[in-house]
Amino acid sequence: MKNNSWCWSGIALGLALALAGCSHEGADWKSATAADTSEAYQQFLTQHPNSANAVQAHTRIDQLQEQRDWQAATSADTRDAYQQFLTAHPDSTFAQEARIRIENFAQSGGTAVAGTAAAAASGSSSKTPASASAPAPSMATGGYANTASQQQYVQLGAFSSQAHAQWQWKRLSTRYSKELGALTPRYVPASGPRKLVRLQVGVASRAQATALCGKLRAHAQSCVPVKSG
């Protein structure tokens, strides 16, 4: 009987310790999810490496790192920053947006050269009448004229299909109705191995393109002035 008593006592003690361990682990996991930081999840993994929540903790650490890297890329807002993000996170939920922004930079690569050449040409010709300059902003369209003779555009993105580009335009023109509502989109197939369709809108001048993009970028919306064509 005495041996049986010791046996049952040992089993009871083991169960109590197991329950206490589970309770402690549960509390630590609750604390980690409440903090929702890489450090909190890492601390949980250090304390409970074999926990049933270990996989979820690792997944959340990866997600948080991806979000930090994306924020860093968008803060830098350079082609190299987005390329570095894609190298580190090729399957990220932000990967398509990163590729779109890289495409925007590629499309705008010749814009500065074209603008410089145009300025030099206008400066060297004293016979060019003042009326030949870019049309003035249209007050009816919020300062962004959209005429048949325009030569300047802004690119709002590059998408996998025209249908996707059209859907995006509907979303953007609704969200930024003050800036885009009076403008007309155009869809330009991109050359290269990736079959992309560029979403662009026309404005009257380079200055207006820069102003428009400044307003949209203030809302973290991709926007790049591009030359006509």
pLDDT tens, residue by residue, 2-54: 555 555 565 655 555 555 556 788 888 989 999 999 899 999 899 888 888 88
Q: Name the phi and psi angles at 125, rounded to 5.
A: -110, 105
Q: How confident is the model at residue 57 (pLDDT cuts 50, 70, 90)?
A: very high
Position 55: which residue type? V
Closest by CA to 171, choosing from 226, 99, 222, is 222
Look over the chain and give the mean of its residue pLDDT values, rounded to a whole number. Answer: 74
Fold of 104-112+141-227: Alpha-Beta Plaits (3.30.70)
143 versus 157: which is more confidently predicted?
157
**In which element (H, E) is residue 40 found?**
helix 38-47
pLDDT tens for 159-191 read 878 888 899 899 898 989 898 988 989 998 877
Per-residue pLDDT, 187: 92
* 86-to-70, 101, 109 alpha-carbon distances in Å: 9, 11, 20
- Predicted TM-score (pTM) of this structure: 0.47
What residue ranges of the chain are covered by domains with CATH 3.30.70.1070?
Answer: 104-112+141-227
